[in-house]
Amino acid sequence: MRYELYYWPHIQGRGEFVRLALEEAGADYVDVARLPEHDGGGRQGVQRMLEKAGDGRTPFAPPILKAGKLLICQTANILQYLGPRLGLVPKSEAARLWAHQLQLLVADLLVEAHDTHHPVAKSLYYEEQKSEALRRAENFKTLRLPKFLGYFERVLRENPGGDSCLVGKSLCYVDLSVFQIIAGLDYAFPRTMARMKPAHPKLAALHESVMKRPRIAAYLASSRRLPFNNHGIFRHYPELDDEA
C-alpha cells in the first residue's frame, strides 16, 4: 500500500512521529504537503483535505494518514494503526495496548513541552505571554519533565524484553516517538537536558541507538528531515532553559 501523509510543510510537528515510523519501516509513502502546489501539495493540499474529507468522519487537524479508503487522524491513533502493519509493535493484544498507552503518554509530554512557550493561548505571540512562559518553563523543568523522563527510564529498566526498547524485545513505534521527544527537548532545553541525561542513562542510550539505525540515520541526513525551528512544538528560547 502507498500511504499519503498530510501535515504542514514547514515544521516537523506531530507529523514527524508518523514520518519516523514510515521511514524506519521503508514504507511507500508520499508527504503530500511537501509536493509542489501545482501537484496538489503545499499548505493548500492539507487544507483541501480538511475541507473536503467527509462521510461524517471529517478530520479535526493534521496529521492525517490516507491508507486506501481510510482516513486516520490523531498521532497515537495513526501509529496504533501502522504499528502492526509495519512490524513496529509486538503481536499480542496486551503488548499493543501497552504500546498505545505509552504513546498517549508521549502525547501528554508533547503538550506540556509546547505549553512552556505558549502557556496562555496559541493565538498569542510568545512575547505576549513571556512572563507566564518563564513560570511555566520553570515548573516544567523542575517538576514535570523529571517525572516524565523518570517514568520512561523506569519502563526501560523494567521491560521484560530488555532495556534497549520500551515494549517487547525489538524496536517499537514508541521507541521512535521517544527518540523524537528527546531530540526536541535537546533543541528546546539543551542545558536542562545536559543536566538531566546522566540521571536517565537508558533513555539517552535509546536515543542514540535509534539515531544510528540505518534507515533513520539516512532520513536524518536527508532533506526530508526538516530542522527544528521556532515555529514548531519544540522552540528554543534561551531564557526558558537553565542558566548558563
> What's the CATH code of the domain at 9?
3.40.30.10
Query: 13 and 123 share a domain?
Result: no
- pTM for the full predicted model: 0.96
Q: Is pLDDT of 36 > 80?
A: yes
Is 216 a member of any domain?
A: yes
Do 117 and 235 contact (CB within 8 A), yes or no?
A: yes
For residue 128, the model assigns a pLDDT of 97
- For 74-87, the pLDDT digits (tens) are 999 999 999 999 99
Is 238 a member of any domain?
A: no
Q: Is pLDDT of 137 > 70?
A: yes
Is 117 a member of any domain?
A: yes
Residues paired with 70 in a beta bridge: 67
Q: Is pLDDT of 55 > 80?
A: no
What residue ranges in 32-154 does DSSP mark as E strands?
64-67, 70-73
Which residue segment(s) compose the domain that 189 sits in?
93-226
How many domains does the structure of the chain reveal?
A: 2
- The pLDDT confidence band at residue 54, using thresholds 50, 70 and 90, is low
Residue count (the chain): 244
Asked, as a colleague might, if the bond just before 90 is cis with ω within 30 of 0, I would say no
The grid coordinates of residue 89 equal 509493535
Backbone angles phi, psi at 207, to 5 degrees: -60, -45
Residues 6+ apart with CB under 8 A from 72: 64, 65, 66, 78, 81
Query: 106 and 21 share a domain?
Result: no
Is 241 a member of any domain?
A: no
- For 207-221, the pLDDT digits (tens) are 999 999 999 999 999
The H or E element that residue 6 is part of is strand 3-6
For residue 103, the model assigns a pLDDT of 98
Query: 97 and 125 share a domain?
Result: yes
* Order of all β-strands in the sheet with 64-67: 29-31, 3-6, 64-67, 70-73
Is 211 a member of any domain?
A: yes
Per residue, what are the HEC states of 134-201?
HHHHHHHHHHHHHHHHHHHHHHHHHCCCCCCCCCCCCCCHHHHHHHHHHHHHHHHCHHHHHHHHHHCH
Task: State whether residue 64 is helix, strand or coil.
Answer: strand
